[in-house]
Structure 1
Amino acid sequence: MANVLPLAKRVQILNLLCEGVSLRAISRLQDVSINTVSKLLVDAGETCLDLHDQLVTHVEAKNVQCDEIWSFCYAKQKNVPTAKAAPAEAGDVWTWTALDADSKLMISYMASGRTGSAAETFMQDVARRITGRPQITSDGFTAYPNAVRVAFGKNVDFAQLVKTYGPDFGAGPERKYSPPVCTGAHKVVREGNPDQSKISTSHVERANLTMRMGMRRFTRLTNAHSKKYANHLYALALFFMHYNFVRQHKAHKLSPAMAAGLTDRLWSMEDIAERIDVRANVPKPRGPYKKRSEA
């Protein structure tokens, strides 16, 4: 296949995608077309979605923290009505994350709206990946208690950390670019008997910073936002596969997947690139067949 980039070149591009470099900047740095970079992102994203489903299961997580981080696709929600040729998925996109506070493994992630039904779908995915009885802490979003109840029943110790914020004073730049000051937080037990000392969202909130630094489309106040929802999801899949299996966490000098017992070695980006090739070489169905959406 003469048009396939060498493995070393693809590995470089994938590493840049996980280090906060934009698609067009990668195109310039690697001297390849923007379409080549986009195609590799799609292939990598589909592969990493499959790998996450296959590998991140039966996680013995005792202390799970959940949060949602905001971004948008094509245009901010308030601008969608006047946006030109806005696709159906345009507007706010919330990335739901569930982090094992001990191993730092990203157990589950989902890009969706910030709704009750999204919360239920997300927590059900978390529940199917975890073994045993976990302690879960979320922020104060009102959809969490019912979502956790639906997903875990009574087999969970669940609490919310509800934060309070001061008034939003000022009219200058500091008001526009700085959030209101957090004036306090109180712990609310929702289910079971959670350990009070572990009711926290500090680790998952720190993971939000890692996401914003590692994915260009999460950078605020730029034109680097996602233009397609699918590409947003593919970027998440590649980033979290790299984060879980390739990147050593400074807290324990292991990859989160190693710390969680999901693998006995540190993966490399070459491992991911090779699995993209394997997936691409799987024989396609021949003859009449139904599309997945029609089956």
Structure 2
Amino acid sequence: MRKLDAKTRALIIRLLVEGNSIRATSRIADVSKNTVNKLLIDAGKACAKYHDEYVRNVKASVIQCDEIWSFTYAKQKNVRTATAAPEGAGDTWTWTAIDSDSKLIVSYMVGGRDSEYAIEFMDDLRDRLANRVQLTTDGHKAYLEAVEGAFGGDVDYAQLIKIYGDMGGKTAARKYSPAECTGIKKRTVEGNPDKALISTSFVERQNLTMRMHMRRFTRLTNGFSKKVENHMHAVALHFMYYNFVKVHQTLRFTPAMAAGLTDRLWDVEDIVELVDANEPAPKKRGPYKKRQPGISN
């Protein structure tokens, strides 16, 4: 099979991480949708592997966590009547943990929103940190058991609980806009968190970045993921690009540089090299046997 040159693959990845859909990317890069999808899968696997191996021993002081909703194949309420809905169809949640200082996404996970995923997410976050941190989450109850199990008493943990007003009825404002936040409650759960630092502002701003840079998160379109595996690959590619390639407007360099994980500015071509390095080595062919006349091999 003919392999795309590095320049074309870099273009495809750049289009994907800047919020273009699979179809739009295939039109701009003049390649097939299958080619784009295959590269997305390969890049997602390579980026997830790199993040898992190298985003470790992160020195942070304040971590904010949140979950962002999307859906795969069909919304949860429509999965039962959907035609040939694949496994994983319905609500798809992406958990994120951001370092407030470096803006690094320390940990992320795609899955459900129950306690099982919360526990796995917090265990992963704990394993990537080098020191005790102040941790803030929203009021999701699943965090309570997960944080306790992962950190024990070695964390300063608080929840920021937002109170929303009732917009009432099925109005257009209710459908297209979130309810108005009428107040917040800061609740200390563990340790001695600094109340001035109890916030989820940075991680909620990251939710907007995700929706802007991943077509699959755009609301009220048909750009949503059709397979949860492809959704996971897109998320892995996005966070690799965000952490190592995209210059943060406030920092003036990348979050990975701010966190001390790298001493240079990466480019999309570096992600292409990761994909190449992650490809399995070609299998050795067996010895060639010359066909004998009159003998069927």
TM range (shorter): over 0.9
Could you tell me how far 1:283 is from its partner in structure 2? 5.2
Superposition RMSD in Å: 1.4
Tell me if 1:234 matches 2:272. no
- Following the alignment from structure 1 to structure 2, what is the Cα–Cα distance between the partners of residues 232 and 286? 35
- The 5 A counterparts of 1:151-230 are 151-230=150-229
Could you tell me how far 1:282 is from its partner in structure 2? 3.2
- Measured against aligned partners, the alpha-carbon deviations of 1:227-273 in whole angstroms (never above 9, x if no partner) come to 00110000000000000000110111110000000000011110110
- Following the alignment from structure 1 to structure 2, what is the Cα–Cα distance between the partners of residues 151 and 145? 10
Query: What secondary structure sits across from 1:276 in the alignment?
Result: helix
Query: What secondary structure sits across from 1:92 in the alignment?
Result: strand
Query: What secondary structure sits across from 1:67 in the alignment?
Result: strand
Query: What secondary structure sits across from 1:110 in the alignment?
Result: strand
Look up the match of 1:99.
98
Alpha carbons of 1:285 and 1:208: their partners in 2 closer, same or farther (altered >3 Å)? farther
- Amino acid of the residue matched to residue 115 of structure 1? D
Query: What secondary structure sits across from 2:47 in the alignment?
Result: helix
Moved over 4 A (4+): 283-287
Could you tell me how far 1:100 is from its partner in structure 2? 0.4
Structure 1 residue runs of 5 or longer lacking an equivalent are: 288-295
- Amino acid of the residue matched to residue 112 of structure 2? G
Could you tell me how far 1:174 is from its partner in structure 2? 1.3
- Measured against aligned partners, the alpha-carbon deviations of 1:72-93 in whole angstroms (never above 9, x if no partner) come to 0100000000000001210100
- Amino acid of the residue matched to residue 82 of structure 1? T
Look up the match of 1:124.
123
Tell me if 1:68 matches 2:34. no
- Measured against aligned partners, the alpha-carbon deviations of 1:20-61 in whole angstroms (never above 9, x if no partner) come to 100011111111000000000000000001110111000001
Could you tell me how far 1:107 is from its partner in structure 2? 0.4
Query: What secondary structure sits across from 2:270 in the alignment?
Result: helix
Look up the match of 1:279.
278
- Following the alignment from structure 1 to structure 2, what is the Cα–Cα distance between the partners of residues 253 and 177? 34
Query: What secondary structure sits across from 2:80 in the alignment?
Result: helix
Could you tell me how far 1:278 is from its partner in structure 2? 1.5
Structure 2 residue runs of 5 or longer lacking an equivalent are: 287-297
- The 5 A counterparts of 1:5-44 are 5-44=4-43
The alignment's TM-score, normalised by the length of structure 2, stands at 0.94
The alignment's TM-score, normalised by the length of structure 1, stands at 0.94
- Following the alignment from structure 1 to structure 2, what is the Cα–Cα distance between the partners of residues 284 and 264? 36
Could you tell me how far 1:286 is from its partner in structure 2? 10
Number of residue equivalences: 286
